[in-house]
Structure 1
């Protein structure tokens, strides 16, 4: 039995309060939206966000972009060799930082997984440790390590590794927690030890996820590695910063273009690797 439109209109006329939201709900919604709009306007005013400033900035940006074209082309290996060395150094920093962070984070992730670590105090303390590590930005860590170890790629590797420990440990532990208990119960039923339940019950489920996380973060670290070079932690970022400081915008654009190509190639290769490895774990090719 369907209700006709005229019946709905009649009910609305008799009982209008049943078809409107309570006053408390409406006041709360208006307060939230009003606070959001007020905060947005305050930020615009506090940061001197004005149409005139935007217009002038866009004009200056157009001038900077015009200096970048046509891009610079290196005519000798002597000029191009430092650029290649900087790109490879950035790649090495990202690779070593990712690997070191993963090696340290992997065992820590089991301490933070509730289906592995049944002791709440240790588990919660470990997770708070993840949060503390992740609170430090990689750039800040690089500046600290530069003061300790001097300029060069070593501070960049250490900064990236420390930053990745917190990220990897959190992501790995969440992946471990989301595994199914059925394979674990099967290993236990066959007389498997605690280590064997993790090795044969948990790891086959979580390995594809861990590998995917590693490959994605490696791609991300290649991009962030260019920023570390700007503060003196090695890599192509130092050369890019040097060209920008010297107003060699055409050469800076060429370096940026090479960075884009490198990141694209790594992204393409990692996608191929993910597909191959996950296919093997999934039993397909």
Structure 2
């Protein structure tokens, strides 16, 4: 970079740094961030830790229900991921700029996916709890809605980055659009789509834990119940179970993603 160019960039850099400093100062004030308050509350934290440790390992009352709830949480994440595949794939195809010729269709698909992403899965869970009642079913429906928006966008971007040569060749030969997608687009991006799907499954298992806090079942419901009853030793046991579940899912999905990357 020449000296004149550097002189022109310095004022811009200074403005950006000043804006960031001001933004952090305002954020600090708005969030009432206070390390001193945290230090002053050490007695409450110490009392909480003393009540939470050691964890309650009663098999019948705590451990067995916790394991069953972990399986429910895993099932919510699994169904919330797999049942969203058809709709996510449809919106991904319609929302891929290089494969959707109609601008209205493209913009409509993108708008729907943006809406589904913008609404948190917890909000969807609250809506479905009022419709179908408390339980895992509401959590599955919430994850399906939110995951369609997220996974559809990720898949659409993967399709946009794919090689358009085979698709153009099929179009020139007279193939219909669905034939182009089925025989040229999807085969070239399947490993990427599967990798993104596994990533979303990993995220959805974590999300299903949070959904349990609002009545969607699973281990999150037991954690919320133990907090309300001030049974912090039970809460710690459930959190340890969640940790083991998350690590197992992360290791499994990471292994599969590495295998897919290696095969490519």
Give yes or no for TM over 0.5.
yes
Distance in 2 (alpha carbons) for counterparts of 1:35 and 1:272: 43
Query: How does 1:46-85 map onto structure 2 within 5 Å?
Result: 46-76=30-60, 79-85=62-68
Query: How does 1:6-85 map onto structure 2 within 5 Å?
Result: 18=4, 21-22=7-8, 26-76=10-60, 79-85=62-68
Aligned-pair CA distance for 1:272:
2.7
Alignment partner of 1:234 is 2:220: no
2:137 to 154, 159, 171: 154
Distance in 2 (alpha carbons) for counterparts of 1:141 and 1:148: 11
2:85 to 99, 102, 119: 102
Aligned-pair CA distance for 1:138:
0.8
Q: Judge which range, 177-186 or 244-253, deviates more.
A: 177-186
The answer to which structure, 1 or 2, has the higher relative contact order (CA under 8 A, 6+ apart) is: 2
For the structure 1 residues 81 and 35, does the alpha-carbon distance in structure 2 shift closer, same or farther, using more than 3 Å as the test?
Answer: same
Alignment partner of 1:256 is 2:239: yes
Assess if the C-alpha contact under 8 Å between 2:95 and 2:109 holds in 1: yes
Number of residue equivalences = 262
For the structure 1 residues 75 and 151, does the alpha-carbon distance in structure 2 shift closer, same or farther, using more than 3 Å as the test?
Answer: closer
2:116 to 114, 118, 133: 133
For the structure 1 residues 20 and 93, does the alpha-carbon distance in structure 2 shift closer, same or farther, using more than 3 Å as the test?
Answer: closer
Q: Where does residue 206 of structure 1 map in the other structure?
A: 189
Aligned-pair CA distance for 1:27:
4.6
For the structure 1 residues 250 and 202, does the alpha-carbon distance in structure 2 shift closer, same or farther, using more than 3 Å as the test?
Answer: same
SS of structure 1 residue aligned to 2:83:
helix
Unaligned runs of 5+ in 1: 1-16
Off by >6 Å, runs of 4+ in structure 1: none
TM-score with structure 2 setting the length: 0.89
Greater radius of gyration (CA): 1
Please give the root-mean-square deviation of Cα atoms over the aligned residues, in Å. Answer: 2.4
Distance in 2 (alpha carbons) for counterparts of 1:165 and 1:255: 29
1:196 to 173, 176, 179: 179
Q: Judge which range, 182-191 or 213-222, deviates more.
A: 182-191
1:163 to 143, 146, 157: 146
Distance in 1 (alpha carbons) for counterparts of 2:4 and 2:114: 47
Aligned-pair CA distance for 1:186:
4.8
TM-score with structure 1 setting the length: 0.83
